[in-house]
Structure 1
Amino acid sequence: MTETDFDALHESVPALPRIGAGADTDRADATVIPFHRYTDYDRRWPVPGKGEVLVVPLGGLGRIGMNWTLYGHDGSWVLVDAGIAFPDQGVEGVDCVIPDPAFLAPIRDRLLALVVTHAHEDHIGAIDRLWPQAIDCPIWATPFATKLIARRLDEAGALEKVTLNSYPVGGAFNIGPFGFRSIRMTHSIPEPVALAIDTVAGTVLHTGDWKFDPEPGIGQPTDIAALRKLGDDGVLAMLCDSTNAHKDMPPTSEAQVRRAFDQLFATRKGQIAICCFATNVARVASAIAAAADAGRQVALAGRSMRNCEEVARDLGLLEHVPEPLTEPAHLKGLDRDKVALICTGGQGEERAALAKLARGERRFPPFGAGDTVVLSARVIPGNEEAVEKVVSKLRARGVEVLMGSELLGGEPLHVSGHPGANELRELYALVRPRIALPVHGTEMHLEAHARLARAAGCQAAIMAEEAEVVRLSDGGSRVLGRVNAPLLALRSQPNGDRATYNPVKVLVAGQV
């Protein structure tokens, strides 16, 4: 599809919903109301009333990534998270995929705020690309997320044009008719929270990404008492992470990875590089501390790695972690048994630090026989080919490559930041929501989560689709229809810069 076809296609996307899903008990527990009975027909958007909460998931359903969820109540709307998704492997020239912000135009004056659960790319990646030129509502986030968002907005020249508010983990605040209570969770990033969204129609719990980690490394464990109290007070509905809902998983902790790193440095000679997500500050801290305890000099590689480390230090999250060297080049000439590199690039990204190291770029110490690289991350589906290319280059140089699925001394080199089915059952036992709306997963994940929720005693488990409008109220739940919310694929920039929202729109038909 050419660029010039896009506007015509945008106009042709049906604005009215598919009607007749009421008989599908997997998707609704009541008859579907035709959309034209419930909305300003000319603008194709529902007007939420006082006795209900409308939920419009715009991403994260049937896919991993692009988490956007609209909540409507008493004439107003709030957005929870605004992330990006990445295109399928082999789609060239595309940086990321987002909902077309133009679809929000009919409710722009009633969109009160964006509230962020945590600072992963699939939850905040669209902010610096869209604010304030396409969306201009205030943003609320925890301190770690606020600082990362502020840095990105500053780089985009938009920081002074955006209202950015910070709320504390465990804090409460009000936005129009919505009350927000943030609940401390654990995940593979500092300061993840669940949001209890209070309205006169009931409380909806939006979990964000989470797991139960008794020793998260950075911050405190999940606030179980707050979740239990929430359940005691009554929860109308819960929108919950489905990433590993299809399988039981043994309890895991970041503390196990730290022990694996200790074993790594105790048993390996030569240069060692550990590759992980920059936002996994606990993992980075474990790698730095384990290397330092083994008497190694440490350097960080990757712009995002340095940014996250600086923000974490500014917030006092790394008070007891030694400061690393600033550049990988500073490791050159040192004893090879006394150096360690912590870097980005575990998904095979061509411009990330690990790929540059594998290519032997001059700013990195040369890695070869006797050296070790650890990929302390899960390979995201779709990135397998890119990761294998980098791994093959390293192994061709004689480097030993250890994957995150491997064990050292019986401890894992990577643990998931998402709950398995067993942890989901624990959460449902605490919160006891009447209605479940599984999010953040492929169809397989969502279906497994819905079955689990029904078995846990939920009155309804709604299998919604992206852009569908779900009505939650004391009388039950129903899918009302869908809004017109096309997707945009933003161009990759030739110089490697982040793509921005601009008039040049590319639709990757069938790929997003």
Structure 2
Amino acid sequence: MEKVNIFALGGQDENGKNCYVLDYDDSLYIVNAGVKIPINMSNGVDTLIPDFSFLEKNKNKIQGVFITDIKNETFSALPWLIMKVPNITIYTSFLNKQIINERLSKYNIKSQSYKVQSITKREKIGNLYVQPFSLPGTAPGNLGFDFITPNGDYVFMMNYSEGDLGIFGKAWFIHLPKLFNKRKINALITDAGKSKQPTRSIDRYFIPKSINKVFQQTNKNNKIIVGAYSEDMVNLHQILELATKYNRPVIPYGKAYSDLLFLTKQIQEKLNPEFKYPVIQDHKSISKYDNAVVLVTGSVERLYQRFLRISQNEDLHLKISRNDSVIMMAPPVNGLESLAAITLDEIAKKTRNITEILESELFICRPTRLDIYNLTKVLKPSVLIPVQGLYRYLVDAISYIEQDKELSKTVKSIILQNGKIAHFANGKLLSQNGKIKEVGDTIIDGFGVGDISTEVLAEREVLGRDGVVIINSLYSPKTKQIVGQLHINYIGVIDQNEQEQINKLIKDSLINIIDSNEFNTMREMNEKVRKTIRKKIFKLTDKDPMVAFTLTMV
């Protein structure tokens, strides 16, 4: 009997730390090994990675690690995986191979401990065949992987769109069955972390008009400073096109993006030599070019800190002048809204010419619910497993597909929490009751693998997802009234300019609950307040924070 198990060591009901395992007849195939950045890096916590204990115990069964793309939440835990499980082979695209080798070279890991290999065609690895296929992504070289067994295929697809993104890849779902030789798809494991978007992701592949306007209106003797995440190459590429159009030199200011740009430029010159890049200058020469487009890039957790340093005149090379224009096309993740607001305020003290691009305006190269539905309709997998996102978005992807009653008859959709096992026998799903015990977070501090209490971990988990609202006041049991001022604190929930509206919502809700209900215990009241406020904040902001409500007796 052919046995296949699929489970996640990370990435389910969380943003980041993506790591999935396919167990084929006791041989392990690992798909991705990413990190998750904690929102608050106090207590020495720099990075969270999956718990690799299971892989360490079963290292002799590992056939390879398959990396789909070069986002931090996809591949940045590789150094620690190699430290735990040496002598592994990493399979990925040619461009990804260069980035992975460069990243691993920063760690004191012997080159004999790993091998990074480009995979361009179907290969037999262990006891099954693995077929890579190209997908459009935020950088060239994005791959999907098809694990081929005698009883059917298991397909993994992460961080992709459908359509033509030029140098960043092109793919149409309707052509995929030919790629798979119309073999039966036992399971489709697909990214669903951005399923809430109502349209196809490719429909938003354009530069917002406000960015064009900045290029049109900024004086030719003043800089245009663009803030973006290093891995967001597909949107930055459109900035390069605008720089060429308006005859402005470009200065990349961030090593990770500079390295990616160098490699991408080489690929572009081979595939499309007619494409005109702007003149690219070194970041040390920023002061020599008053009309430059300066691309300030950084990782998700570092970018705003870097801009804050620039706005406070603490940067060696870049100064913001009064007539410069600043474009911030890096929507802050949950928990960084306050830092982002403070940073933009500091920039405003230097220049009034600030354009902030919201997430709803920016192209994100990840499938939406409509993309996932169209893909499922074409591939017709026996089982659909949405991955790589918060639980409610995984549910959203399934709910959208289940609206098609005919499709639901042939496709069974399931959600796996981290560690839960989908068990297949001869290509058919038998159960999802099994569980891997070694699942959780491993802490990485500035010196390596660290340790920290579970209480802090729990706090980081909440902050990293949707934040916390803390409400407290004084309460008189004699009068049964709140007698003190209501104190409301937000951690990683909303922007400062929205707090007044949410404050009013909380106060009105609290008054209504107290006036219209009777409670036998304070615990009942506390529970009612927390649930009500949580629901109302979710309806208003699409965030589901933890609500801590405390009344101090006087």
Please classify the TM superposition score into its range, dividing by the shorter chain length.
0.7 to 0.9
Q: Which residue of 1 aligns with 2:90?
A: 139
Q: Secondary structure at the match of 1:296?
A: coil
Separation in 2 of the partners of 1:292 and 1:352? Answer: 29
Matching residue within 248, 251, 257 for 1:305: 257
Distance change in 2, residues 1:355/1:477 (3 Å): farther
CA contact (8 A) 2:158 2:191 kept: yes
Partners in 2 of 1:406 and 1:96 — Cα distance?
24
1:397 aligns with 2:331: no
2: distance between equivalents of 1:287 and 1:273? 11
Compared CA separation, residues 243 and 116, structure 1 to 2 (3 A): same
Aligned to 1:443: 391
**Counterpart pick for 1:380 among 319, 324, 333:** 333
The structure-2 alpha-carbon separation of the partners of 1:314 and 1:356, relative to structure 1 and needing over 3 Å to count, comes to farther
Rounded Cα–Cα distance in structure 1 between residues aligned with 2:423 and 2:108: 39
Corresponding position of 2:190: 240
After the TM superposition, which of the residue ranges 235-244 and 454-463 deviates more from structure 2?
454-463
Shift of 1:445: 0.4
Distance 1:437 1:477 in 2: 14
Instruction: Determine the C-alpha separation between the residues in 1 that align with 2:181 and 2:332.
Output: 35
Quick check: 1:334 aligned with 2:282?
A: no
CA contact (8 A) 2:248 2:278 kept: no
Note if contact 2:201-2:363 (Cα within 8 Å) is conserved in structure 1: no
**Aligned structure 1 segments of 4 or more residues deviating by more than 6 angstroms:** none
For residue 368 of structure 2, what is the aligned residue in structure 1?
420
Q: Take 1:105 and 1:252, find their aligned partners in 2: how far apart are those partners? A: 40
Distance 1:362 1:438, change over 3 A: closer
Counterpart contact for 1:374–1:404, Cα < 8 Å: yes
Which of the two has greater helix per residue?
Answer: 2
Structure 2 partner of 1:286: 238
Is structure 2 residue 127 aligned with structure 1 residue 172? Answer: no
Match of 2:420 in 1: 468
Name 1:72's counterpart in structure 2.
23
Which one-letter code corresponds to 1:198 in the other structure? I
CA 1:129–1:389: 2 relative to 1, 3 Å: farther
Q: Give the CA deviation at 1:489.
A: 4.0
1:322 corresponding residue in structure 2: 278
Deviation digits for residues 72-105 of structure 1 (CA, Å, limit 9, x no counterpart): 1122111000001112446542111112222323
| Local SS of the residue matching 1:128 | helix
TM-score, normalised relative to structure 2: 0.74
- Deviates most, 98-107 or 147-156: 98-107
Tell me which of 224, 231, 255 is aligned to 2:173: 224
- Give the 3 Å change call, closer, same or farther, for CA 133–490 of structure 1 in structure 2: same
Equivalent residue for 2:75?
A: 124
C-alpha distance in 1 between matches for 2:116 and 2:236: 27
Aligned pair count reads 445
TM-score where L is the length of structure 1:
0.80
Residue 134 of structure 2 is aligned with which of 184, 205, 208?
184
- Aligned-pair identity (%): 15
Distance 1:255 1:459, change over 3 A: closer
SS of corresponding position for 1:256: coil
CA contact (8 A) 1:288 1:342 kept: no
> Cα deviation per residue 1:222-243 (whole Å; 9 max; x = unaligned)?
1435423348422111111112
CA RMSD, 1 decimal? 2.6
Question: What is the match of residue 16 of structure 1?
Answer: none
Tell me the distance in 1 between the aligned counterparts of 2:89 and 2:21: 15
**Is it true that 1:506 corresponds to 2:506 in the alignment?**
no
SS at match of 1:416: coil
Matched-pair contact (CA < 8 Å) for 2:92–2:143: no
Q: Residue in 2 aligned with 1:35?
A: none
Q: Offset of 1:262 from its aligned partner?
A: 4.4
Partners of 2:14 and 2:391 within 8 A in 1? yes
Matched with 2:380 is 432
Higher normalized contact order (CA 8 Å, seq sep 6+, divided by chain length): 1
Change (3 A) 1:243 1:406: closer
Post-superposition offset of 1:261: 4.7
SS of the residue corresponding to residue 332 of structure 1 reads helix
Distance 1:317 1:236 in 2: 40
Q: What CA distance in whole angstroms lies between the structure 1 residues aligned with 2:333 and 2:305?
A: 16
2:398 partner letter = A
Where 2:177 maps in the other structure, the secondary structure is helix
Aligned to 1:40: none
Tell me the distance in 2 between the aligned counterparts of 1:82 and 1:246.
25
1:218 is paired with a residue whose SS is helix
Q: Bigger radius of gyration, 1 or 2? A: 2
* Alignment partners' CA distance in 1, 2:315 and 2:167: 34
Give the conservation status (yes or no) of the 8 Å contact 2:52–2:84: no
| 1:456-500 Cα distance to aligned partner (Å, 9 max, x none) | 43432112110112112333341132112243443442xxxxx63
Residue ranges of structure 1 left out of the alignment (5+ in a row): 1-49, 494-498
Secondary structure in 2 aligned to 1:155?
coil
